[in-house]
Structures are given as C-alpha cells and as structure tokens.
Amino acid sequence: MNTLFAYAGLFLMAISIALIATPLVKKLAILVGAVDQPDPRKVHTKIMPRMGGLAVYIAFMVTLAFELKFNIININSVLLNTTQFYGFLLGGTIIIIIGLIDDRYQISAKYKFLGQIIAAGVVMYAGIKVQFITLPFEGTFEFGWFSIPFTLLWIIGVTNALNLIDGLDGLAAGVASIALATVTIIGFAMGNTVVAFMALLLLGSTLGFLRYNFFPAKIFMGDTGALFLGYNLAIFSILGFKHVTLVSFIIPILILGVPIADTLFAILRRYLSKQPISIADKNHLHHCLLKKGWSHRTTVLIIYGISIFFSLTAIIFSQAEVWVAFTVLGVLFVITAIGAESINILNTRRQPIIHFIEDLVKYADTKQSLDKQNLKG
C-alpha cells in the first residue's frame, strides 16, 4: 500500500510541475517568438505560442530526478543498466533540442530527420534495440544485424506518427496520454516496473500540460512536445516488448493504433494520388471528421474514443490466447478499414469493403425473400 501511495505521489508531483511550468513556458515561447501562424492548412485562426512540450519535458525530468535522488519507490534496484538509462535520457534531450529549434525557426524536414537519426543512434549505441522475438508456437526469430535498421525505423516512425496527428487542440497530448496509460497498465501487469514507472511519470506530465492544451488551447505542444512524446512511446515499447512473443510485439502497434494508422493512410493516400509522401494535406483523420460536420471539441473526443478502443484491444490482446488474439486483430482490421472508407480518409471514391458488405446484405435479403416465397408456394 505504501508503494501505491508513493507511485500516486510521484504521479501527482509530475502533474503539479507541469501545471506550474506550462504558463511559464508559454511566456517564454512568446518572448522568443516561438509562435504558430495561421495558414490555410491549419484549423486555428490566431497566433498561438508553441514549445509547450518543454513543460512536459521539465515535469518528467524533475520528477524522475527527484525519485532517483530520494529513491522513494526503490526504482534504482530494478532500473535498466546505467548506459541504457542515460542513453535514453540523452536521446530524449536531443529530440527536445530539435523540437525547440523547429518551434522557433521552422527548420526543414531533413534537419529534423537528421536529429532524430542521431537520437536513435545514441539510444541504439547505449544498447536499446529490438533483438529477437519469440514466435507463437516454438522457436525465436533473431533480428541479428537487421535489429539496427528495424529499431531505427521504429523509433523514427513512431516519433513522427504522433506529430502527424497534432492538428487540433489537445489531440496529440490526449492520444499520447491514453497510450501512456495503457503502457503503464500493461507494464505493471507484465512486471516491467521500470517502463510502467517512467510511462506513469510522463503520463502525469502530459496531463498537467493538457490542462492548458485542450480546446480552446492556450498553448500548443509544438514539435517539442509531439516529437518528445512520440520518442518516449517508441522507446517504452522497445523496452517493454523486445524479448517477448510475436503476439506481445503487436501490443505497442495497437496502443499507438491511431497515429500509426493515420500515418499509413497518409502514405497510401499520397501514393494513390501520385503525390510526394512528405507533402502536407488536409485529409488526416481529424480533418476528415471535421469535414463530416463534427465540431472541434467533438472531433477530438471521437478520436480519444478510438484511441481508448485500440488501447482496450491491446490490453485484451496481451492477456488472450494466440488464436483469440489474432481473431481480435482480424476484427479490428476490418473495423478500421470500414471506418477509414466511411470518412474517406484515402480521398478516393472507391469503397470496396463497404460495397462488399452492402452486396452481402442485399444477397441475404434477396435469399430470405426467395425462401419465404418458396415456403408459401
């Protein structure tokens, strides 16, 4: 019970520091000119301070340093080795620096990408890599040298996936909070105290910031926050699931279902329209929901609901038998595909799955009518 109170106390400490730090960061952002100007692709219509992710970083680091100093929950006894731990922190700090520079000066994508590669390189050099996974029935799959490009792609992909959905007040911070809460729950359930603890601290830091970021937002998290949260979710998933079964390896993909699916749909959409993959558009999930007539706040809440659905699926997935897990995965895939077609996220008139289901319904109705006629005859 004392341990539970200790976790709760540190969680509340992270929230409190973020609540205090965010207004100060807002003033700093305005002072240094780190502001977001409205443009046709964006939803907001007035100048907004960016750089809010710095408050999340401060709250997380201060609370973590407090625990390491006073060892309230004895996390030192189960902490990952020193090299990995400091590699993780250094990589996160590099991401924060890149985000701060971009929020102020709007650097090009190639420089942001270079910074992310450096951060990922630091993490991998420290020994945090996806090394192997245990297959569902027997044996293991060793990544070998492929662990380096695989880990690099995973870190950079997840880091940027969260950034892509950061288009409405409170959206990215809320989706990240749901994902972090899920990582915390599954981490504790699997006995991975380190990942669960750090995810819990980052959750508190993000919730404190969300108080100022939810609609109507007083500050944006900017690339500073979106990239930092994405980076941490990528690292937590590697630390939590790198040596487990293939089924468990799918868990982080489910937890991050909304940003990953939105990214994949964006890539496919741009490929189908023969546009460069890096080009920005207004056909992301939140844009499509807004086009359907939903309000700003309602759109955010709908996406929160989708994220919770993915997260609950991940929790069920982590506890289920292999055949149940993959059945759930198949059903989730169909639901996602139908939802994507219904809001036209691919920006195409083709709706093969919906039309297939409609044809099945028509066939069933026709067959039922014929059967009734045959019975009467």
Write out the binding residues for Mg(2+). Answer: 163, 223
Residue of 370, 84, 349 lying closest to 239 (CA atoms): 84
Residue of 287, 82, 319 lying closest to 194 (CA atoms): 82
Angle, in degrees to the nearest 10, between helices 171-189 and 222-241: 20
Whether 216 and 29 have beta carbons less than 8 Å apart is answered as no
Binding-site entries: 163, 223
Which three-class secondary structure string do you get for 262-298?
Answer: HHHHHHHHHHHCCCCCCCCCCCCHHHHHHHCCCCHHH
Rounded to whole angstroms, the Cα distance separating 339 from 372 reads 34
What does the CA dihedral 188, 190, 194, 200 come to, rounded to 10 degrees? -30
Task: List the alpha helices (DSSP H) in the chain.
Answer: 2-32, 53-70, 82-105, 109-125, 147-164, 171-189, 193-213, 222-241, 246-249, 251-255, 257-272, 285-291, 296-319, 322-342, 352-376
Q: In this structure, what token pair is assigned to residue 51?
A: 């750089």
Residue of 186, 178, 125, 175 lying closest to 155 (CA atoms): 125
CB-CB neighbours of 170 under 10 Å: 26
What does the CA dihedral 338, 260, 307, 97 come to, rounded to 10 degrees? -160
Rounded to whole angstroms, the Cα distance separating 251 from 349 reads 32
Whether 102 and 95 have beta carbons less than 8 Å apart is answered as no
